[in-house]
Amino acid sequence: MSADELEQLRRRVAQLEDERAIRELISRYGHFADLGYEDAWVGQWTEDGVYDLLSVRRDGAGYEGTILFEGRDALYRHIRDPAAHKAMEGRSLHVQDINLVARIDGDDAVAESYSMTLLREGNAMVLRSAGMIRWTLRRVDGHWRILRKTRRPAGDPEVFAGIAPEAAEP
């Protein structure tokens, strides 16, 4: 194997490892939220992380309209909010990594995915919300972190505006 081939293989493996780490980060995001692991959930964000959420209040829980949570203190306020997240904690399933596509450029990455939040009501699971997400990620101290999460309703073209049709070509 030539030095060029070896370097190309090294880059491909690094790309696969980054994609795997990003998928795990986004998957754990939902696990941590559902289980009430506040420190682990906030720890996935950069210090200046921003959650840009368009939500709907249902049954007295949640937010109405677009709301920004900027920085770790605001992210803690969100995950601890008794009128929003805490009203669902322990009976929710945040599924964040549906149809996840990630593009990595050095220590920065952008990923798009669909998301659903299911909520247990009695013995049934009901769809609370579904949306489209753009994740802006940054590698910090060797670990991928969420710099910005933008969530919009299903069908909103704003979130996936950067996806070109040719991106789907093999």
Supply the pLDDT for residue 166.
53
Q: Side chain identity at 125, as an amino acid letter? A: M
Query: Does 167 fall in a domain?
Result: no
How far separated are the first and last CA of the chain, in Å rounded? 26
pLDDT-derived band of residue 55, with 50, 70 and 90 as boundaries? confident
Contact 159, 133 (CB under 8 A): yes
Inform me whether the pLDDT recorded for 60 exceeds 70: no
CATH code for the domain of 104: 3.10.450.50
User: Is 170 within the bounds of a domain?
Assistant: no
φ, ψ dihedrals at 145, nearest 5° = -135, 155
In a domain, 165, yes or no: no
Can you give the residue range of the structural domain that contains 42? 3-157
**Is 166 contained in some domain?**
no
Question: In this model, does residue 118 exceed pLDDT 60?
Answer: yes
Q: What pLDDT score was predicted for residue 10?
A: 93
Q: Is residue 96 part of a domain?
A: yes
In terms of Cα–Cα distance, which of 43, 40, 26 is closest to 96? 26
Predicted confidence (pLDDT) at residue 168 exceeds the cutoff of 70 = no
